[in-house]
């Protein structure tokens, strides 16, 4: 509670009462500060009216105020003589509010002996109170649901509740209902927990430590990113899982970075210890797919029981070293599970994301991901964020790694509650995780738990932490293992027998040692590819598999019927008249065969056809519903009431759903989310579209670490489509290039497809091909801007019905191939520019002697097809690659080796020439006029020059 009311109260007690009366009948009739003040009372009592009618303490306070006011009203100077009792109450009330809001600052959350600082905001004196007031009775405890008591007692209660070993940040939560609920639940945080639960917690701590010690003794000095010091994460997550299953949760997705990951994989996610030891031993069998990854990046999934014996599916996504990027991926995975397995019910799949304090406060993707919490296209019904705050990041102190007070301050962005807890207080941690599970289930929002703990060793086990954190590690040296500390507490405070507890630990060690011996003596195989549930017969595939023709045709009548369906809007829906003309009418003409099918229509037809075949579609992108260039208009807005209608909805069914999402303005988290979704939803098409392709490099980590490398590292396949508007049109450095060259540089081992189409039919067939194969591969697509509606890039319904995807398009204009003198290989937009140029007077004479060969799929490159096409043009004197991108960009550095091979294999001795821009530091010039001059020079050189020319 902010605002200093003292002066008001001192001078005008009657005014306070009047304000309260007004507030009680209508909270909006008083100013915001008064509202905030009286709302504070609400949290202790209930609603505003309950406050007025049902609360004995407050009635008493009011009576007191009333009497005093009456006295003042009869006196000569009623306004200036304040009620001393009221003033006192108000001062204490402010003091209580300060503790409710800021008590966490002074909480003893640190398990290391570092006492919390003192904060003036929590001092009596800051509210005009002194030690002389301690014995006075006050009603202000009502603010936290207590009766009247002395100020002294109230202070003790405030300290106990708000500054114990758990601190609560609740006051920033907007909703009254949530705040009241949170305060009421938080009041129970120190309640005792059942003995059985204590046993489970001890056992989990013992198991966590056992595993680390076993690995440490078997693999001395090896990196394992031990959980030691943050062991409490394990029972915390177990409590969350257990409580969640009681609330109906069937699956729990758990993401965690390096620290404690091996421990979590085995103990929480159920990866058999045998498998882990086999990985440590390096028992990799022949024929293992891909390059694999380090042990602590692997994910796992299993069905297991919760502590109470309920069924739960637990999973952990694979993740790279790049910290926090998996946050967005696990969100997408969670949403896909909810959509696919539980009909979108968010209460069935819950997510816990574990973070490190330094990464959580430093990495920007955290902000982007948490911002998704309540968005229609992203919400997963709330996530529990558990930060293992070991008070150091690698060798960096918190004072150097964040400006915010807490590592969890990003929670304020979404008005989510935050709790800071001392990891030694495992009983309260249990209560807190119960609270978290219930909060998530009830309010469907994120909740943050800052688990203050320590790191036993250096960043990894070989690092010496004393070099950089000598003081911290002096304290850590004296700290016992969490299982030992808890055992001490259980035996002294709860009558557990030390010997019993010790044997629990010893048994774990013995079991783990036995497992190790077993693995040492056998050569267990390491399993790799497991397609997601319900994905059908999916396989791994090579470059060769990717080049096989895929039957994507549908009958013409079927396509026509689909086309009609997707341009029919319900009669009651009022489409903007202009839009109706340019989109609906035109698309109807396309459906009737009166007009060629443009890019937008072909795209929608591909979606519609897949939906009718039972595949779901999820397209998320920046302004994707309309499309950056106004070409898509798949979701229309009613011009009168702004309601939405998706043109694809008539093609959907129970199993085939469509979501077209205008995303938050994020590339990294938004793309990561779709990656996670695509991995899970193998039976659907998942697409992410950039506003312009140029902005996709904001998601470079997702591209490099997940999309390009996920299959080779983890055997994790997916068919995510990236739609990246690309092409040089004079729009400057940042609206021209999706950095085709970067994607091509990442291509190997059949990891993805990189394409740049020139015809809408190709788009249609490529989208259908994505799902009509028994494997999944990402598709990176350079998409058009200027030629979205070009007749040259348009197609016919017949082509859709009869064709299939073509990796390379020969020049069908050429009548006699032996007349061809010049063969220009190119990709995407420049091909269409070249075709246009050949129709102009200046170059008309070249039309028959110049063949333009379009490489529509750059990777995997179809060598055989290219050779067979080029072999027709043996008479050509000039064979070249043409591109509009600078020479150090575009496809040139990738394709030249492929094309040189094509020449060799076609028996052509010529050199491969290059026509295009010179090497540049930026993808495009900033001055439009220069662009057009350059573009003309490229075209001219391509059609006339005899040797490589850079402009």
Residues binding ligand TPP (CB under 6 A):
259, 321-323, 356-359, 363, 388, 390, 392-394, 455, 459
If the CB atoms of residues 320 and 690 are measured against ligand TPP, the closer one turns out to be: 320
If the CB atoms of residues 254 and 870 are measured against ligand TPP, the closer one turns out to be: 254
Q: How far is the CB of 238 from ligand TPP (least distance, A)?
A: 20
Q: How far is the CB of 227 from ligand TPP (least distance, A)?
A: 9
Q: At what angle do helices 325-341 and 668-680 cross, to 10 degrees?
A: 40
Q: How far is the CB of 512 from ligand TPP (least distance, A)?
A: 23
If the CB atoms of residues 470 and 791 are measured against ligand TPP, the closer one turns out to be: 470
Q: How far is the CB of 484 from ligand TPP (least distance, A)?
A: 21
Q: At what angle do helices 599-612 and 760-771 cross, to 10 degrees?
A: 20
If the CB atoms of residues 320 and 627 are measured against ligand TPP, the closer one turns out to be: 320
Closest CA to 710 of 356, 298, 395: 298
Q: CA 548, 702, 897 angle in degrees (round to 5)?
A: 45
Instruction: Specify the DSSP class assigned to residue 584.
Output: I
For the chain, the first-to-last Cα distance in angstroms comes to 66
E strand map for 726-807: 753-756, 779-783
Q: How far is the CB of 257 from ligand TPP (least distance, A)?
A: 7
| 419 three-state secondary structure | strand
Measure the CA–CA gap between 186 and 168, rounded to whole angstroms.
8
Structural contact between residues 36 and 1, judged by C-beta atoms closer than 8 angstroms = yes
Q: How far is the CB of 408 from ligand TPP (least distance, A)?
A: 12
Tell me the DSSP string of 342-409.
STT-TTSEEEEEEEEHHHHHH-HHHHHHHTTTT-TTT--S-EEEEEEE-S-BTTB-HHHH-SSSSTTG
If the CB atoms of residues 9 and 706 are measured against ligand TPP, the closer one turns out to be: 706
Measure the CA–CA gap between 647 and 604, rounded to whole angstroms.
9
Q: How far is the CB of 435 from ligand TPP (least distance, A)?
A: 24
If the CB atoms of residues 281 and 463 are measured against ligand TPP, the closer one turns out to be: 463
If the CB atoms of residues 259 and 726 are measured against ligand TPP, the closer one turns out to be: 259
| Dihedral of alpha carbons 516, 522, 526, 532, sign | negative
Neighbours of 339 (CB within 10 A): 21
If the CB atoms of residues 259 and 773 are measured against ligand TPP, the closer one turns out to be: 259
Q: How far is the CB of 355 from ligand TPP (least distance, A)?
A: 7
Structural contact between residues 57 and 147, judged by C-beta atoms closer than 8 angstroms = yes
Measure the CA–CA gap between 642 and 787, rounded to whole angstroms.
30
Burial of 750-774, coded b for 16+ CB within 10 Å and e otherwise, reads bbbbbbbbbbbbbbbbbbbbbbebe
E strand map for 477-536: none
Measure the CA–CA gap between 244 and 262, rounded to whole angstroms.
23
Measure the CA–CA gap between 616 and 685, rounded to whole angstroms.
6
Q: How far is the CB of 407 from ligand TPP (least distance, A)?
A: 8
If the CB atoms of residues 95 and 225 are measured against ligand TPP, the closer one turns out to be: 225
Q: How far is the CB of 225 from ligand TPP (least distance, A)?
A: 7
If the CB atoms of residues 363 and 383 are measured against ligand TPP, the closer one turns out to be: 363
Measure the CA–CA gap between 597 and 795, rounded to whole angstroms.
5
Q: How far is the CB of 229 from ligand TPP (least distance, A)?
A: 9
Neighbours of 549 (CB within 10 A): 10
Measure the CA–CA gap between 846 and 711, rounded to whole angstroms.
46
Measure the CA–CA gap between 621 and 766, rounded to whole angstroms.
19
If the CB atoms of residues 458 and 890 are measured against ligand TPP, the closer one turns out to be: 458
Structure-token pair, residue 189: 């945080």
Q: How far is the CB of 395 from ligand TPP (least distance, A)?
A: 9
Residue with the closest Cβ to ligand TPP? Answer: 356
Q: How far is the CB of 296 from ligand TPP (least distance, A)?
A: 11
Q: How far is the CB of 451 from ligand TPP (least distance, A)?
A: 11
Q: How far is the CB of 50 from ligand TPP (least distance, A)?
A: 44
Structure-token pair, residue 554: 């549908």
Give how far Cα 35 sits from Cα of 2, 176, 878, Å: 12, 12, 80
| Cα radius of gyration (the chain) | 34
If the CB atoms of residues 322 and 905 are measured against ligand TPP, the closer one turns out to be: 322
If the CB atoms of residues 102 and 363 are measured against ligand TPP, the closer one turns out to be: 363
| 795 three-state secondary structure | strand
If the CB atoms of residues 80 and 395 are measured against ligand TPP, the closer one turns out to be: 395
Structural contact between residues 599 and 767, judged by C-beta atoms closer than 8 angstroms = no
If the CB atoms of residues 671 and 878 are measured against ligand TPP, the closer one turns out to be: 671
Instruction: Specify the DSSP class assigned to residue 597.
Output: B
If the CB atoms of residues 100 and 455 are measured against ligand TPP, the closer one turns out to be: 455
If the CB atoms of residues 441 and 670 are measured against ligand TPP, the closer one turns out to be: 670
Q: How far is the CB of 387 from ligand TPP (least distance, A)?
A: 9
If the CB atoms of residues 286 and 400 are measured against ligand TPP, the closer one turns out to be: 400
Q: How far is the CB of 450 from ligand TPP (least distance, A)?
A: 12
Q: How far is the CB of 439 from ligand TPP (least distance, A)?
A: 24
| Dihedral of alpha carbons 150, 152, 154, 157, sign | negative
Measure the CA–CA gap between 102 and 436, rounded to whole angstroms.
20
Measure the CA–CA gap between 911 and 851, rounded to whole angstroms.
17
Measure the CA–CA gap between 677 and 619, rounded to whole angstroms.
11
Alpha helices (H) along 624-694: 668-680
Structural contact between residues 587 and 605, judged by C-beta atoms closer than 8 angstroms = no
């Amino acid at each position: 509670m902010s605002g200093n009311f003292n002066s008001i109260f001192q001078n005008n007690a009657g005014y306070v009462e009047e304000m309260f009366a007004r507030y009680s009948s209508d909270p909006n009739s008083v100013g915001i500060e008064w509202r905030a003040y009286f709302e504070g009372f609400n949290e202790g009592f209930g609603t505003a009216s309950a406050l007025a009618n049902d609360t004995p303490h407050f009635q008493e306070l009011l009576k007191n105020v009333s009497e005093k006011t009456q006295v003042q009203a009869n006196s000569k100077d009623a306004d200036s003589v304040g009620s001393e009792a009221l003033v006192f109450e108000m001062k204490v009330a402010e003091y209580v509010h300060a503790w409710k809001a800021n008590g966490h600052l002074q909480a003893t959350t640190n398990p290391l002996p570092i006492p919390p600082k003192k904060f003036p905001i929590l001092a009596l004196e800051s509210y005009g109170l002194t030690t002389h007031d301690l014995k006075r009775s006050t009603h202000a405890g009502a603010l936290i649901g207590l009766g009247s008591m002395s100020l002294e007692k109230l202070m003790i209660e405030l300290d106990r509740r708000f500054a114990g070993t758990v601190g609560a940040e609740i006051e920033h939560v907007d909703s009254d209902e949530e705040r009241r609920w949170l305060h009421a639940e938080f009041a129970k945080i120190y309640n005792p927990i059942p003995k059985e639960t204590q046993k489970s917690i001890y056992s989990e701590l013992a198991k966590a430590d056992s595993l680390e010690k076993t690995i440490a003794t078997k693999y001395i000095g090896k990196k394992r990113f031990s959980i030691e010091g943050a062991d409490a994460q394990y029972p915390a997550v177990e409590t969350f899982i257990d409580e969640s299953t009681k609330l109906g949760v069937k699956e729990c997705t758990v993401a965690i970075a390096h620290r404690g990951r091996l421990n979590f994989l085995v103990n929480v996610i159920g990866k058999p210890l045998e498998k882990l030891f086999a990985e440590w031993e390096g028992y990799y069998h022949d024929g293992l797919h891909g390059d694999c990854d380090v042990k602590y990046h692997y994910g796992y999934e299993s069905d297991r029981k919760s502590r109470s014996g309920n069924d739960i599916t637990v999973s952990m996504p694979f993740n790279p070293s790049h910290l926090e990027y998996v946050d967005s991926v696990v969100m997408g995975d969670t949403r896909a599970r909810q959509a696919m397995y539980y009909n979108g019910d968010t209460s069935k799949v819950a997510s816990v994301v574990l973070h490190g304090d330094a990464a959580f406060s430093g990495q920007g993707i955290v902000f982007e991901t948490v911002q998704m919490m309540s968005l229609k296209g992203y919400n997963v019904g709330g996530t529990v964020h558990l930060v293992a705050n070991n008070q150091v990041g690698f060798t960096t102190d918190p004072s150097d790694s964040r400006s915010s007070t807490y590592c969890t301050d990003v929670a304020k962005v979404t008005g989510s509650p935050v709790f800071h807890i001392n990891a030694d207080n495992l009983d309260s941690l249990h209560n807190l995780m119960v609270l978290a599970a219930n909060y998530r289930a009830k309010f469907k929002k994120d909740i943050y738990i800052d688990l203050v703990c320590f790191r036993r060793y250096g960043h990894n086990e070989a690092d010496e932490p004393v070099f950089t954190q000598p003081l911290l590690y002096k304290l850590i040296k004296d700290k016992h293992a969490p299982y030992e500390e808890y055992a001490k507490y259980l035996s002294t405070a709860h009558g557990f027998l030390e010997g019993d507890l010790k044997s629990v630990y010893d048994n774990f060690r013995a079991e783990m040692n036995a497992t190790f011996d077993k693995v040492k003596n056998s050569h267990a195989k390491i399993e790799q590819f497991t397609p997601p549930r319900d994905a059908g017969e999916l396989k791994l595939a090579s470059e060769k598999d990717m080049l096989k023709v895929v039957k994507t045709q549908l009958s013409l009548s079927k396509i026509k019927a689909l086309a009609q369906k997707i341009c029919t809007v319900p009669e009651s829906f009022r489409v903007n008249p202009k839009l109706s003309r340019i989109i609906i009418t035109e698309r109807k003409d396309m459906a009737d065969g009166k007009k060629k099918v443009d890019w937008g229509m072909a795209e929608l037809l591909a979606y519609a056809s897949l939906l009718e075949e039972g595949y779901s579609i999820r397209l998320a992108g920046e302004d994707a519903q309309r499309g950056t260039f106004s070409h898509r208009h798949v979701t229309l807005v009613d011009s009168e009431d702004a309601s939405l209608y998706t043109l694809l909805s008539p093609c959907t069914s129970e199993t085939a759903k469509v979501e077209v999402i205008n995303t938050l303005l994020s590339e990294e988290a938004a793309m990561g989310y779709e990656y996670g979704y695509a991995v899970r939803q193998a039976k659907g098409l998942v697409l992410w579209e950039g506003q312009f392709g140029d902005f996709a490099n904001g998601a470079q980590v997702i591209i490099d670490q997940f999309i390009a490398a996920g299959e080779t590292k983890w055997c994790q396949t997916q068919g995510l489509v990236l739609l990246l508007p690309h092409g040089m049109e004079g729009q400057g450095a940042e609206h021209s290039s999706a950095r085709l060259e970067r994607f091509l540089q990442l291509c190997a081992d059949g990891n993805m497809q990189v394409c740049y189409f020139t015809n809408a039919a190709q788009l249609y067939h490529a989208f259908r091909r994505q799902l009509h194969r028994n494997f999944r591969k990402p598709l990176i697509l350079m998409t058009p801007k200027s030629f979205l509606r070009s007749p040259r890039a348009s197609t016919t319904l017949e082509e859709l019905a009869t064709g299939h995807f073509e990796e390379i398009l020969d020049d069908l204009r050429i009548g006699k191939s032996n007349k061809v003198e010049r063969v220009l290989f190119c990709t995407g937009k420049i091909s269409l520019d070249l075709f246009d140029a050949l129709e102009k007077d200046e170059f008309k004479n070249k039309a028959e002697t110049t063949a333009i060969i379009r490489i529509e799929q750059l990777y995997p490159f179809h060598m055989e097809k290219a050779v067979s096409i080029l072999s027709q043009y043996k008479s050509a004197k000039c064979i070249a690659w043409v591109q509009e991108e600078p020479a150090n960009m575009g496809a040139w550095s990738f394709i030249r080796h492929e094309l040189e091979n094509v020449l060799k294999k076609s028996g052509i001795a010529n050199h491969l020439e290059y026509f295009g821009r010179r090497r540049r530091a930026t993808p495009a010039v900033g001055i439009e006029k220069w662009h057009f001059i350059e573009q003309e020079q490229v075209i001219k050189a391509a059609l006339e020059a005899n040797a490589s020319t850079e402009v």
